[in-house]
């Protein structure tokens, strides 16, 4: 055979060998990522392999010396196995107990993790004997569930605390009313304070209901095409009396003609909360500005005040439920501690966000950003999208 023909044949052969090698490696790596990993050469009873392979959660089989024989990918992802051993002493203890007693173990354990053991995962472990030599441990990560439960407990505890104060005050004031029954001046004073406390409970329950509604997934199920100038005008109107009472000038910027899709009541509430905060945390006789602009498909509504401002360290936390920079001040101004939480959830429900710029002693600017409604209005977005709104007809 000619020398070059040999060369072609050799090249062809090496190509087939190398290509085949790659295919085999690829096949094994794909199946390894899907299946539970055989950690040692010890064989587990029939059928266990297949069950572990089919499992989405963490499953580990250990032998009589507590060497890990088999473990699912999730067990590695949770770092429950390392160097063919169980990583956490709590799991070793459970496996030993099962071996010793032969009884099934079913319990919740907190596993300390991280280099300094400063983080933890909460897991549910079921462990039992497998044949005479093995122990199988099934581990379910419940950390997220516990975290949500803690948030819920916190919220309930906060609500109870917030309600206790006005309810306690109402009890005391009604006793005081009894005692002062013969003094009309005092009766009037206590009645006024009773009224203020009941208004506070009403505001708090209203805000709690609003927040719960916003946390429901379909808060903006029926989005309408809304004119941002109308939203701002409605929110400003609701604050005129409050501003006048403190000689605060409300300055409204030029109309933008921009539209967004959303729930009118929710958006008015969001802007209203920002304006009423600006008034409450500003000195009498100052100015509060409300303006909007559109840039690159984003509608920005800004509320600016010349008030006391917010320390930088607190600027992220003010959107948390019941967080106040100054507890006493917020209470005396009639705050519930939920206003900014409501703003945040309302705008997030509209695909937007809210930001704050503030400097203590200088004032604050809160900016709501919302996606601008596309032109022309798609018919999919609720009834108002199909029929032009009042403002559009007037243009
Ligand atoms: P609150 O009902 O207490 O006003 P919010 O959730 O509306 O609750 O606000 C949280 C906290 O953020 C307030 O207690 C206040 O300390 C601070 N805050 C909000 N808006 C302003 C503002 N415009 N100027 C200064 N501080 C503000």
User: Model confidence over 309-356: pLDDT tens digits?
Assistant: 999 999 989 999 889 998 777 777 778 899 999 999 999 999 999 999
Question: If pLDDT is split at 50, 70 and 90, which confidence band does 51 have?
Answer: confident
- Ligand 1, atom 23: nearest CA belongs to which residue? 278
- What does the pLDDT read at residue 390? 35
For residue 388, pLDDT over 50 is answered with no
For residue 214, pLDDT over 50 is answered with yes
Question: If pLDDT is split at 50, 70 and 90, which confidence band does 113 have?
Answer: confident
| Residue partners of 189: CB distance under 8 A and separation at least 6 | none
- Ligand 1, atom 20: nearest CA belongs to which residue? 277
For residue 357, pLDDT over 80 is answered with yes
Give the closest residue to 125 by CA, choosing from 69, 180, 78.
78
The distance in angstroms from the start CA to the end CA of the chain is 88
Average pLDDT over residues 180-194: 94
For residue 176, pLDDT over 50 is answered with yes
Question: If pLDDT is split at 50, 70 and 90, which confidence band does 46 have?
Answer: confident
Per-position DSSP letters for 67-119, written without gaps between them: BEEEE-HHHHHTT-EETTEES-HHHHHHHHHHHHH---EEEEEEEEESTTS-E
* φ/ψ (deg, to 5) at 146: -65, -40
Q: At what angle do helices 264-280 and 339-349 cross, to 10 degrees?
A: 150
Residue carrying the six token digits 């975290």: 147
Ligand 1 proximity of 326 Cβ (cutoff 6 Å): yes
For residue 377, pLDDT over 50 is answered with no
Mutate to test the pocket of ligand 1, among 326, 340, 354 (most ligand atoms within 8 A of CB): 340
Q: Where are the beta strands (DSSP E) in the chain?
A: 37-38, 58-62, 68-71, 81-82, 85-86, 105-113, 119-130, 134-141, 224-227, 249-252, 259-262, 287-295, 298-305, 353-359, 363-371
Residue carrying the six token digits 């963490």: 58
Average pLDDT over residues 208-212: 88
Mutate to test the pocket of ligand 1, among 250, 330, 336, 338 (most ligand atoms within 8 A of CB): 330
- What does the pLDDT read at residue 332? 74
Q: Is 168 exposed, middle or buried (0-12, 13-18, 19+ CB in 10 A)?
A: exposed
- What does the pLDDT read at residue 151? 78
Average pLDDT over residues 247-264: 96
Mutate to test the pocket of ligand 1, among 166, 250, 310 (most ligand atoms within 8 A of CB): 310
Ligand 1 proximity of 325 Cβ (cutoff 6 Å): yes
Specify the pTM: 0.65
Average pLDDT over residues 13-21: 59
Question: If pLDDT is split at 50, 70 and 90, which confidence band does 153 have?
Answer: confident
Ligand 1 proximity of 363 Cβ (cutoff 6 Å): no
Percent of the chain with pLDDT over 90: 60
Task: Give whole-number Cα distances, 297 to 225, 254, 372, 373, in Å.
Answer: 15, 18, 5, 8
Average pLDDT over residues 160-189: 92
Give the closest residue to 113 by CA, choosing from 146, 145, 139, 80.
80
Average pLDDT over residues 381-390: 37
Give the closest residue to 59 by CA, choosing from 134, 4, 136.
136
Average pLDDT over residues 203-209: 91
- Ligand 1, atom 12: nearest CA belongs to which residue? 318
Task: Give whole-number Cα distances, 364 to 171, 299, 302, 326, 392, in Å.
Answer: 38, 19, 10, 16, 33
Per-position DSSP letters for 133-189, written without gaps between them: TEEEEEEEE-HHHHHHHHHHHHHHHHHHHHHHHHHHHHHHHHHHHHHTTT-HHHHHH
259-281: per-residue pLDDT in tens? 999 999 999 999 999 999 999 99
| Residue partners of 325: CB distance under 8 A and separation at least 6 | 310, 311, 314, 318
Alpha-carbon distance of 205 to 214, in angstroms, equals: 14
For residue 225, pLDDT over 90 is answered with yes
For residue 243, pLDDT over 80 is answered with yes
Question: If pLDDT is split at 50, 70 and 90, which confidence band does 41 have?
Answer: low
118-151: per-residue pLDDT in tens? 678 899 999 999 988 899 999 999 988 888 888 7
């Amino acid at each position: 055979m000619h020398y070059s023909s040999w060369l072609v044949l050799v090249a062809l052969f090496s190509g087939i060998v190398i290509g085949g090698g790659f295919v085999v490696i690829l096949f094994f790596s794909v199946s390894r990522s899907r299946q539970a990993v055989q950690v040692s050469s010890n064989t587990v009873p029939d059928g266990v392999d297949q069950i572990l392979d089919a499992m989405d959660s963490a499953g580990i089989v250990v032998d009589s010396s507590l060497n890990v024989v088999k473990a699912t990918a999730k067990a590695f992802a949770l770092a429950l196995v390392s160097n063919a051993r169980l990583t956490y002493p709590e799991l070793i203890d459970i496996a030993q107990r099962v071996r010793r007693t032969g009884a099934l173990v079913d319990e919740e354990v907190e596993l300390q993790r991280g280099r300094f053991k400063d983080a933890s995962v909460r897991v549910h472990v079921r462990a039992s004997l497998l044949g005479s030599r093995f122990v199988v441990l099934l581990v379910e990560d419940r950390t997220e569930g516990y975290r949500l439960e803690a948030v819920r407990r916190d919220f309930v505890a906060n609500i109870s605390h917030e309600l206790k104060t006005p309810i306690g005050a109402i009890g005391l004031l009604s006793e005081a009313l009894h005692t002062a029954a013969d003094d009309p001046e005092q009766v009037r004073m206590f009645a006024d304070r009773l009224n203020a406390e009941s208004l506070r409970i009403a505001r708090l329950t209203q805000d709690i209901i609003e927040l719960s509604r916003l946390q429901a997934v379909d808060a903006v199920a029926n989005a309408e095409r809304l004119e941002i100038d109308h939203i701002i005008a409605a929110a400003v109107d609701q604050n005129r009396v409050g501003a006048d009472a403190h000689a605060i000038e409300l300055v409204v910027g030029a109309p933008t003609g921009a539209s967004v899709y959303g729930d009118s009541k929710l958006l008015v509430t969001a802007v209203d909360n920002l304006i009423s905060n600006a008034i409450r945390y500003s000195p009498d006789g100052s100015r509060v500005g409300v303006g909007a602009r559109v840039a690159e498909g984003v509608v920005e509504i800004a509320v600016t005040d010349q008030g006391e401002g917010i320390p930088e360290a607190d600027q992220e936390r003010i959107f948390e439920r019941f967080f106040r920079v100054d507890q006493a001040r917020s209470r005396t101004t009639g705050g519930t501690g939920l206003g900014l939480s409501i703003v945040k959830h309302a705008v997030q429900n509209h695909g937007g966000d809210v930001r704050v710029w503030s400097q203590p002693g200088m004032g604050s600017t809160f900016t709501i950003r919302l996606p601008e409604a596309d032109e022309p209005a798609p018919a999919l977005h609720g009834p108002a999208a199909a029929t032009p709104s009042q403002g559009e007809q007037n243009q």
